[in-house]
């Protein structure tokens, strides 16, 4: 059993977005940081992470119509005080970009399942902070891993430590969400539209607790 000290951190994201990532529907995530982030700004504690679904703040109308059915479900029992959350995959963060130009949102729109208005609202929130775009090489687990819900996973934080998960997700049976060729092509196409493209990720250390 992994301990908090040696476990890979988990990136919390809407359940619908995690589903899109492990299904290969999108290969990037966009973040601004939550109220519980250190310094209230987004940081990068590691380049490998688990993908933990949440329904906090998730609403069907904030997704493109074709994907709203993925969010049209009751809040998972775990987040209502029940037993478990299913972790379906993990990711390598292979590139990052920080966006300050609102025109770039047009380039992002066809590559994510959020509505255009919602991505614009993420961009506009805390206007002095850039919008982070994370290029994720996602791997889908052969079997989702159940973890017990813990109150410390609640709230506006991007990263959580989950000691119940194996310390290294790459040791678990999994398959890439998309082929190497498809991933490279999609990432290159998006990099051409982002000012400066993607840069290598530079972790800033484990999340503070």
Which range of 34-48, 73-87, 108-122, 178-192 scores highest in mean pLDDT? It is: 178-192
- Cβ-based neighbour number of residue 82 at 10 Å: 12
CB 140 within 8 Å of CB 174:
yes
Q: Indicate if the pLDDT at residue 7 is higher than 80.
A: no
Q: How far apart are CA 18 and CA 146, in angstroms?
A: 15
End-to-end CA distance of the chain: 20
Q: Indicate if the pLDDT at residue 38 is higher than 70.
A: no
Cα dihedral sign, 129-135-137-141: positive
Q: Indicate if the pLDDT at residue 35 is higher than 80.
A: no
Q: How far apart are CA 201 and CA 123, in angstroms?
A: 20
Q: Indicate if the pLDDT at residue 164 is higher than 90.
A: no
Phi, psi of 104 (to 5 degrees): -70, -20
Q: Indicate if the pLDDT at residue 209 is higher than 50.
A: no
Q: How far apart are CA 151 and CA 146, in angstroms?
A: 16
37 falls in which pLDDT band (50, 70, 90)? low
Q: How far apart are CA 25 and CA 18, in angstroms?
A: 10
CB 104 within 8 Å of CB 20:
no
Least reliable range by pLDDT among 64-68, 111-115, 140-144, 151-155: 151-155
Higher-scoring residue by pLDDT: 163, 117: 117
Beta strands (DSSP E) in the chain are 10-14, 28-31, 48-54, 84-99, 131-148, 159-160, 174-176
Q: What is the pLDDT of residue 6?
A: 56
Cα dihedral sign, 122-8-206-4: positive
Q: What is the pLDDT of residue 205?
A: 63
Given the candidates 2.30.130.30, 3.40.50.2000, 3.30.70.141, 3.40.50.300, the CATH classification of the domain at 10-191 is 2.30.130.30
């Amino acid at each position: 059993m992994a301990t908090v000290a040696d476990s890979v951190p988990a990136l919390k994201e809407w359940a619908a977005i995690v589903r899109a990532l492990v299904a290969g529907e999108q290969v990037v995530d966009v973040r601004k940081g939550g109220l519980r982030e250190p310094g209230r700004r987004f940081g990068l504690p590691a380049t490998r992470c688990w993908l933990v679904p949440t329904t906090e703040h998730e609403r069907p109308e904030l997704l493109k119509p074709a994907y709203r059915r993925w969010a049209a479900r009751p809040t998972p029992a775990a987040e209502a005080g029940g037993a478990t959350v299913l972790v379906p995959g993990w990711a390598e963060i292979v590139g990052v970009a920080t966006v300050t130009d609102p025109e770039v949102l047009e380039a992002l729109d066809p590559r994510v399942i959020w509505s255009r208005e919602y991505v614009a609202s993420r961009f506009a929130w805390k206007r002095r902070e850039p919008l982070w775009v994370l290029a994720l090489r996602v791997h889908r687990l052969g079997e989702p891993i159940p973890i017990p819900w813990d109150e410390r996973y609640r709230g506006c934080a991007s990263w959580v430590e989950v000691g119940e998960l194996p310390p290294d997700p790459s040791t678990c049976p999994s398959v890439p969400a998309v082929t190497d060729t498809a991933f490279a092509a999609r990432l290159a196409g998006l990099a051409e539209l982002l000012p400066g493209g993607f840069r290598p990720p530079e972790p800033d250390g484990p999340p503070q607790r």
